[in-house]
Amino acid sequence: MSKFVFVTGGVSSSLGKGLTASSLGRLLKCRGLRVTMCKLDPYINVDPGTMNPGEHGEVFVTDDGGETDLDLGHYERFIDESLNRNSNTTTGSIYKAVIEKERRGDYLGKTVQVIPHVTDEIKERVRRLARDDVDVVIVEIGGTVGDIEIVPFIEAIRQFRRDVGRDNVCYIHLTLVPYLVPSGEQKTKPTQHSVTELRSRGIQPDVIVCRSDQPISDGLKRKISLLCDVPIEAVVSAVDASSIYEIPLVLYDQGIDGYVCRTLGIDAAAHPIDLSNWEALVNRVESVERPVRIGIIGKYVNLPDAYLSVVEALRHAGFHHGVKVVFDWIDAETVPDLLGSERLHILDGVVIPGGFGERGVEGMVAAAAYTREHEIPCLGLCLGLHVMVVDAARNLAGLENANSSEVDSLTPHPVIDLMDDQLDVTDKGGTMRLGAYPAMLVPGSVVARAYGAEVVSERHRHRYEFNSRYQGRLEEAGLVCSGTSPDRRLVEFIELPQDVHPFWLGTQAHPEFKSRPDRPHPLFRELVGAALERAEGREPPLFDVDLLDTVR
């Protein structure tokens, strides 16, 4: 049967539970074990689909159309497995399912309570991830121990070990060990209190992962071991790493994978680890030096997590080309004020990412026009394709006041419009075109050469589409509709020929979701390649590239 690892956190949010869980998943996969992962989120939203990216971060989309937490992106990138909508469960979806069962009479008139009905539903969501082709299921519990929202999840995973057997469950608890400058020492008290809170809920952690900015001494490990009742080898020092892709190696050096295997009754000797490929990746990451400047011109740049997968896909492409991708975060609303400055001109490449609503769209259109006119490599993603089409319609095809009907419902030329089956949308949750869809590429096009294929599949998340009634007018003006749905009803990719522009390409999809650190997505690989060509021969930047990521 499948084994289960539950990862909880304490003291503070954003310590890196998702990255710790993902890194453990990579280590177990390097041992030849078959791994899947899941996130249990305590918020009451049914899924993140209607949540503000500027507050919550990006919505990650799975092949089957699940709108999920961004941590699933880390999971997929680290364990290199495609997950599904069952890999993300929220309090909202749990209560929705319980209430639907109560309305159907499934509980036979019993009083519906948190225990057992809610906890049973949580456990069922975890159990259904266990399949014959899965050796280990890693489950991250969102939030921190002590949060009121998290209590049913903690109770459910406490019961889970009793249900499936002690040797089939491992509890990992992530805590903070802060360094206090005035006293010049690291403090274990937050970890002690966090573990005490977890134990008060009936869970004794098997492993304690201590996050810190410097290594934890053996003396501190012994202290945590004694006061938290775990073996000293189960106290793991997880020091800040220069790259998230170093974390598996940091945890391996601490022996976490071997200890987890022993806790779960897995014969580690029968599953020797092979880290050669991952070590080669980290060596490539550490060796990159030459900067390539990529501007991300979007609506939610004040929270870079809103574009987390875009950032990682660009970094993956940088690893491939041996360059350091340096980001200039540009608020789309400020673009009209930047057109006469050097800030846009010194960019080596631009990404115009997805988004919803009219705010900042005119700035994105202006950015698309600027990159087209100044031959700056540009990749448009979803909304990015929309603004590139609007620019082409206005400035190449002469369609005055052309726009997306999402932005201007009265535009005389709605070159971007609602899909036919989305004309009456009252429920904003899960009503978009979601998940993986195939596309047929025009042979010899820029996008077909990038993919090395003429049929591809990418993940989507949108309501508005290229209005095919304008396809002829735009193609006459020089725009190439280089990819369509198999029935040719929907345009999936647009571009300018390479004899016109080095790289100016938009996609209706979100290819960033399928990029991997050791296998960059073709479109991002080609964008960074074109940006590198632009950067070749240019003078070194006059600014500190390590500070550029902070520019807003």
Helix (H) or strand (E) holding 210: strand 207-212
Alpha carbon distance 457, 455 (integer Å): 7
- Neighbour count for residue 442 (Cβ, 10 Å): 16
Alpha helices (H) in 201-306, listed in sequence order: 218-228, 247-253, 256-263, 276-287
Q: Give the H or E element holding residue 397.
A: none
The DSSP-derived string for 26-43 is: HHHHHTT--EEEEEEE-S
Is residue 170 part of the annotated active site? The answer reads: no
| DSSP character string of 326-386 | EEEEEEGGGHHHHTTSHHHHT-SEEEE----SSTTHHHHHHHHHHHHHTT--EEEETHHHH
Q: Which of 521, 514, 381 is nearest to 451 (CA)?
A: 521
Check 58, 510, 521, 526 and give the catalytic one: 510
Rounded to whole angstroms, what are the CA distances from 97 to 68, 112, 157, 181, 423? 17, 12, 19, 49, 29
User: Which candidate in 58, 121, 458, 512 is catalytic?
Assistant: 512
Name the maximum alpha-carbon separation found in the chain.
76
For 517-537, b/e burial (b = at least 16 CB within 10 A) is beebbbbbbbbbbbbbebbee
Let me know: does 386 contact 356? Beta carbons within 8 Å: no
CA angle centred on 454, ends 450 and 458, rounded to 5°:
75
Active-site hit among 170, 261, 378, 382: 382
Cβ proximity of 448 and 482 under 8 Å: yes
510 catalytically annotated: yes
Q: Is 382 a catalytic residue?
A: yes
Report how far residue 511's alpha carbon sits from residue 460's, in angstroms, rounded to the nearest whole number: 8
Active centre residues (catalytic): 382, 510, 512
